[in-house]
């Protein structure tokens, strides 16, 4: 019995090593040096507590990425530790320079401020060099003709911004619903990007909810996101990104109205605790 488990672990380990080697080879990365220094060439204050950093590889060789992927950035903190964190690539052209959009995580109820996001906000300026990984992640837009429903909350807008730009460039005829919830306009990052891309789509419906203030405008509502009165085709493909409780509530509402669970994809900006829960219970 022990020998059988030993073999399973070895086989599993070998397949992971092979997969890692394949990913490095695909990206042209030397596995002994997975971090590539990137220089910050632009910094934009996108919204309250949200910055975008545009990063160029110091050696001048851009690694192309796919829309929806993320990179890790590793920083050396004042306490001597080195910490990596993942950030979605918010630029919408695969050949363009990498842009990441970082929300500063402020500690609440006695919890400390987020280490890496705070460091980036305070220390990453034009000229700063950061260690950045190869692009990774396989949560990508499908290429079908099905209607797309892109739903985000807060900083969960980063993959959506990239996806809408990509759709505007490659698939402007695809039917797209864009739903976003934020605290207020001042915290709503990448909104001008998303609106500019959305204007280039031929069949788009945009709706924004602000939980913290009076809503203004025809496509803006106040309060929590509520999709009850919105027509959505049951064959739509849904992409969700935001805090876990938000995604669970929205997924639950969508499945209750007939959208099949396998049509709903999501990105969790942290350990994917959802994947470790029974999905029927979560939704
Ligand atoms: C695939 C992926 C994509 C992502 N994309 C983005 C993106 O585009 N933009 C973005 O801004 N973020 C993104 N994230 C999240 C990002 O990687 C970081 O998790 C985020 O920036 C917080 O990191 P931090 O080091 O600042 O916070 P951390 O230091 O890791 O802290 C995280 C939280 O834990 C709490 N905490 C820490 N220590 C304690 C303690 N002792 N007691 C109680 N609470 C504590 C902190 O208060 C904070 O709320 C993504 C994550 C993933 C996995």
Q: Any idea where the domains of the chain sit in the sequence?
A: 36-132, 148-282
Instruction: Report whether 225 contacts 209 (CB < 8 A).
Output: yes
Buried b (16+ CB within 10 A) or exposed e, 193-227: bbeebbeebeebbbbbbbbeeeeeeeeeeeeebeb
State if residue 239 touches ligand 1 by the CB under 6 angstroms criterion: no
Q: Nearest to residue 192, comparing CAs of 170, 172, 165? A: 165
- Structure-block tokens of residue 29: 């990365």
pLDDT at 282: 33
107 lines ligand 1 (CB under 6 A): yes
Find out whether the beta carbon of 99 lies less than 6 Å from any atom of ligand 1.
Answer: no
**Rounded CA gap, 138 and 24, in Å?**
15
Question: Order of strands, edge to edge, in the sheet holding 50-57?
Answer: 82-88, 70-76, 129-132, 36-47, 50-57, 98-103
**Residue 21 banded pLDDT, cuts 50, 70, 90:** low
Q: How much is the pLDDT for 280?
A: 38
**Cα(205) to centroid of ligand 1, in Å?**
31
Please provide the DSSP assignment of 213-241 as one string: S---STTEEESS---TTS---TT-EEEEE
Just give the CATH number of 148-282: 3.40.50.80
Alpha carbon of 273 to ligand 1 centroid (Å): 14
What are 32-75's pLDDT values in tens digits?
Answer: 678 999 999 999 999 999 999 999 999 999 988 999 999 999 99
Q: Does ligand 1 come within 6 angstroms of the Cβ of 114?
A: yes
Could you report the per-residue pLDDT of 189-230, keeping only the tens digit for each? 999 999 999 999 999 999 999 999 777 888 999 999 999 999
What is the CATH number assigned to the segment(s) 36-132? 2.40.30.10
Per-residue confidence band for 276, with pLDDT thresholds at 50, 70 and 90: very low
- CB of 164 within 6 A of ligand 1: the answer is no
Report which ligand 1 atom has the smallest distance to the Cα of 119.
26
Of residues 90 and 269, the one with the higher pLDDT is 90
Average pLDDT estimate for 234-238: 94
Q: What are residue 151's DSSP bridge partners?
A: 179, 240
CA of 272 to the centre of ligand 1 (A): 13
* Pairing mode, strands 82-88 and 36-47: unpaired
119 Cβ inside 6 Å of ligand 1: no
């Amino acid at each position: 019995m022990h020998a059988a488990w030993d073999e399973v672990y070895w086989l599993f380990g070998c397949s992971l090593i092979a997969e890692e080697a394949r990913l490095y080879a695909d990206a042209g990365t030397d596995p002994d040096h997975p971090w590539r220094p990137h220089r910050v060439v632009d910094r934009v204050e996108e919204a309250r507590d949200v910055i975008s950093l545009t990063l160029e590889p110091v050696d001048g060789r851009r690694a192309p990425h796919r829309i929806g992927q993320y990179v890790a950035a590793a920083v050396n903190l004042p306490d001597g530790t080195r910490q990596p964190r993942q950030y979605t690539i918010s630029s919408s052209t695969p050949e363009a320079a990498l842009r990441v959009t970082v929300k500063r995580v402020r500690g609440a109820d006695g919890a400390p401020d987020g280490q890496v996001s705070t460091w980036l906000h305070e220390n990453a300026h034009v000229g700063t060099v950061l260690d950045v990984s190869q692009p990774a992640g396989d949560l990508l837009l499908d290429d079908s003709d099905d209607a797309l429903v892109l739903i985000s909350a807060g900083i969960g807008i980063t993959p959506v911004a990239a996806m809408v730009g990509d759709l505007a460039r490659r698939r402007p005829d695809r039917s797209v619903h864009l739903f976003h919830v934020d605290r207020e306009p001042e915290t709503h990052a990448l909104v001008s990007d998303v609106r500019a891309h959305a204007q280039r789509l031929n069949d788009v419906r945009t709706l924004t909810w602000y939980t913290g203030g009076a809503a203004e405008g025809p496509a803006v509502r106040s309060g929590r996101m509520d999709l009850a009165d919105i027509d959505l085709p049951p064959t739509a493909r849904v992409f969700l990104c935001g805090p876990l409780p938000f995604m669970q509530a929205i997924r639950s509402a969508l499945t209750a109205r007939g959208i099949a669970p396998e049509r709903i994809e999501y990105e969790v900006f942290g350990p994917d605790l959802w994947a470790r829960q029974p999905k029927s219970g979560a939704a």
